[in-house]
Amino acid sequence: MRRPLEPKQYTSLAFGNRCREAGVRPSMGSVGDAYDNAMAESFFSTLECELLARRRFRSQAEARMACFSYIEGFYNPLRRHSALGYRSPVVYENETRSDPLPETLLSQAP
């Protein structure tokens, strides 16, 4: 049994040209490095679990907008992060500012 795509196919000239035609940048990760893509895998797992698995979308445009709203409206500013002492970026930034934001602007932050 043969794998559908061999590693050499990912780096071939034809594959690179097809990616450019489609307007995408091919992955430049190394072959066989499990940690090379760990952060992206973790993020997409979270996105799938917290957003995509919970609803169905009528169109690709609706799914894109939902992903954008999730990332920019919740994941980036409000989701708690272990690296920030389990505080959201908004709360962490406010705690480290010399001129803290009014409490009303922080009411959304967990």
**Domain layout of the chain by residue ranges:** 38-76, 79-110
The Cα–Cα gap between 103 and 48 comes to 32
pTM for the structure as a whole? 0.57
Looking at residue 21, what is its pLDDT?
Answer: 93
Looking at residue 2, what is its pLDDT?
Answer: 45
pLDDT, mean of each 10-residue run, the chain (110 residues): 52 81 79 73 91 94 96 92 92 84 58
> What is the greatest pairwise CA distance in the chain?
63
The Cα–Cα gap between 20 and 18 comes to 5
Q: Do residues 16 and 26 lie in contact, with contact meaning Cβ atoms separated by under 8 Å?
A: yes
Burial class (CB in 10 A: 0-12, 13-18, 19+), 104: exposed
